[in-house]
Amino acid sequence: MAFIGGADLGEAGLNGAGGLGAPPASLAGGIMGTLARAQYGALARLRWRMFLNGLRSNKGALELGARTFSLLVYGLMGLGLGTGMGIATFFLVSRGEWRLLPILFWVLVFLWQAIPVMLASFQEQFDLGILLRFPVRFGSYMLLYLVFGLLDISTILGGLCCVGIWFGVAAARPGLLVFATLALAVFAAFNILLVRAVFAWIDRWLAQRKTREILGAIFMVGLLSLQLMNPALYQKRHARHTGPDERVQQLREAEARYAPVLKVASTVQKCLPPGMAAQSLRHAVQHEPVTGLESLGGMALYALLVGGVLALRLKAEYRGENLGSAPARVKAASGRNGAVAGSGIQERKAVGLRGGSGPIAAVIEKDVRSLLRTLPLLYAIGAPLLLVLVFSGVFIKNGAAQGPMFPLALPLCMMYAQLGFTQVFYNNLGTEGAGIQLYFLSPTPIRTVLLAKNLLHAFLFGLVALVAAVLTGLRLGPPDGAVVAATVAWLLFSLPCNLAAGNIFSLRMPYRVNPGRISRQRGSQANALLSLLVQLGVLAMGAAVFSLCWFLDRMWLATPIFLTLAMGAVFVWRRVLGNADGLAYQRRDALMATLMKES
């Protein structure tokens, strides 16, 4: 019997296969053929083995614990959202408020698409690209892509919301049970396919320099355009207090003024899946099953269309397209070699830090360039600003900024803005990849590298905090001086806390960030969960001090308290930086092994 290194080839399945020239007969089967089923089984066993092997190390066990906990948290979040959606649906359906029902479905679509990016650093995803070297059919590849997608956070949360809506409809109109099941199943399928298609295409665009730059520019313009919303919001803040009758009158006037726009919007949205989902339920209640089925069919067509768009992308990947080696710019003419090289250096000078030629300036320059080419991180940093704008609306009642928590609006918005920096602070070496070796080879101490990163991140955070403060101020009016001072003092405390903890986490439990992808990132549940706990601890300390001073009506007292805490935090940060080289060299094997992983 043939053997290699003592392994019996018969056990490997080659026995009797008729040699390499004769492919196994089962290759002819469809996506549920013998070979396909064997491959699904092999993949399931692979995942199981990876899971078991992960438990061999303490880090693996920690990851499992973190993942279980995360799943529980997401489950609870989903249950909460689903319950809310269910209650809202129940009231809308039982009262026949069909005009408002599409809003629920639009909210759900938004959540479904936004969650994967918002929680990109909190979930680990399995990259199916490894399957491409095997004789896997395209149908099987796509099926696996969709099946693995069913386990991600957005699908769990979105699915639970759909269940909530289903219960709401069933409770309000039991006769709609079957129709609601059908409508929600198609709606869920549309969302699952849409989120996959969107991220698959974004990943593709991010892999090409030109489209990556265009996307980056659009993103930056989007962020800056937030400023344009301010004048409108500013006007609203200055609106005088009105009574209930006046408000009704104002609403009527606004409705009359915007009626044409609203009418067009309502008509358009009826032709889109969220509107169709609501329409199908409405027609079913009104005993118009044919029209209801038309809406359902329309939604199914959208799902097929989106599925087709996804299939186009996956087909290209399946044919062996490598995102990392996507075509770049056209090469310059060979005769212009010298000129091109020279212009490259001129360009560098233009963006360089003036007067800084040391390693700190070098790391900062390098990180700024990398950051501008890493859309996922830009999004993570910028997205909270948009939500700060939305979030600050909580403090607006009856057209004016007020409410019991209004005095604390600024620190609350600041606290929220800080969450966007989780990945930046707590995995600050994640985008280095193989470049991590350079830090160990060069004569620059690791603490200098971390110091440079901390300085850049602190500056970026300061910038985001400033924009968030301006947005909050414009929306809610200038805050009290004592609150501003206390908020600044709290930032001086929380920033070194996060930087210190972030440096430790970055060295102890890093994970590789693929800068060219938004979806299918590896992530680390342990890092995500523990960093969240540290952030929550810092936020809780801030909240406790603010609440105490607010309760005692001595807000000025918060500033010295936070400044005292800040001194302690800076001391800890400096200690962590001082010990960074020891920790880095102690962990260098694991650091390099983790950050240099291909996928």
Partner 1 sequence: METAAIQTHGLTRRFGALTAVEDVTLSVAPGQFFGFLGPNGAGKSTTIKMLTGLLEPSAGTVEILGQPFGAGALHLKRQIGVVPEGMALLGRLTAPEYLHFVGRMYGLDRETTNQRTQELLEFMQLANETKKLVTDFSHGMQKKLALAAAVIHGPKVLFLDEPFEGVDAIAAGMLKSMLQGMINRGATIFLTTHVLEIVERLCSHVAIISQGRLVANGSIEALRAGVASTLPGAEQEQRLTLEEIFLSIVGAGGTQEQAQELSWLS
**Contact positions toward partner 1, by CB under 8 A?**
2-4, 14, 19-20, 209, 324-326, 328-329, 331-334, 336-338, 340-345, 348-349, 352, 357-359, 361-363, 365-366, 369-370, 373-374, 431-445, 515-516, 581-582, 585, 588-589, 592, 596
Closest CB 40 distance from partner 1, rounded Å:
27
C-beta of 2 vs 290, nearer to partner 1: 2
Cα three-residue angle 396-264-219, rounded to 5 degrees: 60
Closest CB 397 distance from partner 1, rounded Å:
46
C-beta of 328 vs 567, nearer to partner 1: 328
C-beta of 319 vs 329, nearer to partner 1: 329
C-beta of 47 vs 210, nearer to partner 1: 210
Closest CB 211 distance from partner 1, rounded Å:
13
Pairing outcome for strands 3-4 and 7-8: antiparallel
Q: Name beta bridge partners: 4.
A: 7
C-beta of 242 vs 370, nearer to partner 1: 370
Closest CB 555 distance from partner 1, rounded Å:
44
Closest CB 3 distance from partner 1, rounded Å:
8
C-beta of 227 vs 322, nearer to partner 1: 322
CA-CA distance, 78 to 587, in Å (whole number)? 37
C-beta of 11 vs 553, nearer to partner 1: 11
Closest CB 465 distance from partner 1, rounded Å:
26
Provide φ and ψ at 354, rounded to 5°.
-65, 130
C-beta of 25 vs 332, nearer to partner 1: 332
The Cα-based distances of 362 to 211, 418, 437 in angstroms read 27, 26, 16
> Can you read off the two tokens belonging to residue 419?
């969450």
Asked if 128 and 144 count as a contact pair (C-beta separation under 8 A), the reply is yes
Closest CB 348 distance from partner 1, rounded Å:
6
The Cα-based distances of 131 to 40, 43, 439, 521, 598 in angstroms read 11, 9, 33, 17, 14
Cα three-residue angle 261-264-269, rounded to 5 degrees: 120
CA-CA distance, 138 to 517, in Å (whole number)? 22
Closest CB 512 distance from partner 1, rounded Å:
11
C-beta of 481 vs 582, nearer to partner 1: 582
3-state secondary structure 459-500: HHHHHHHHHHHHHHHHHHCCCCHHHHHHHHHHHHHHHHHHHH
Asked if 387 and 223 count as a contact pair (C-beta separation under 8 A), the reply is no
Closest CB 219 distance from partner 1, rounded Å:
16
Provide φ and ψ at 35, rounded to 5°.
-65, -45
The single residue listed with the structure tokens 């089925």 is 293
Closest CB 20 distance from partner 1, rounded Å:
7
C-beta of 37 vs 587, nearer to partner 1: 587
Asked if 203 and 517 count as a contact pair (C-beta separation under 8 A), the reply is yes
**Which residues fall within 8 angstroms of residue 529, CB to CB, at 6 or more apart?**
66, 69, 70, 122
C-beta of 91 vs 440, nearer to partner 1: 440
Closest CB 203 distance from partner 1, rounded Å:
14
CA-CA distance, 365 to 434, in Å (whole number)? 18
CA-CA distance, 518 to 215, in Å (whole number)? 12
The Cα-based distances of 152 to 3, 159, 196, 375, 502 in angstroms read 42, 11, 11, 21, 26
**Which residues fall within 8 angstroms of residue 294, CB to CB, at 6 or more apart?**
none
